[in-house]
Amino acid sequence: MEETLHELEALLRRHGCVLQANVVEMTRGALPSRARLRAILASDDWWGSEDSVAEVDPAIRGGFTPEARRDARRLRELLLAVHDFMRREGIEQPLADLLCAEFRKWLASSL
């Protein structure tokens, strides 16, 4: 999970998403504390607000260039990895379930 979060943070910083990158950095710091990790990963900062990590779209931010579209795809893949980790750890977040179901459809259809 450490590597996934590190890559996600770097991707967000590359696209100027400092607030969201800071949330990911805070999450990495919480990895040793399962209670704190659960609270952070289930929060609106990750999944539930218009400024959440899950709402970032590098394709839009990057003007739909090929690189920005690749980054958008990679962001979704990383979010799915975080969501899979949450499920393995028993961290429930209904909005994350909904968003990740959409991300899976988008990835399957190459969006």
More confident position, 30 or 61: 30
The answer to whether 91 and 41 are in contact (CB under 8 A) is yes
CA 24 to CA 46: how far, in whole Å? 8
Is residue 1 within 8 A of residue 85, CB to CB? The reply is: yes
> 27 with 81: CB under 8 angstroms?
no
Domain residues for the domain of 62 are 2-108
Total of domains in the chain? 1
- Of 19, 24, 26, 20, nearest to 4 by C-alpha is 24
Q: What is the pTM of this model?
A: 0.91
Question: Mean pLDDT of all residues in the chain?
Answer: 92
Q: What is the DSSP letter of 19?
A: H
3-state secondary structure 39-61: HHHCCCCCCCCCCCHHHCCHHHH
pLDDT of residue 59: 74
Mind listing the pLDDT tens digit for each residue in 82-94?
Answer: 999 999 999 999 9
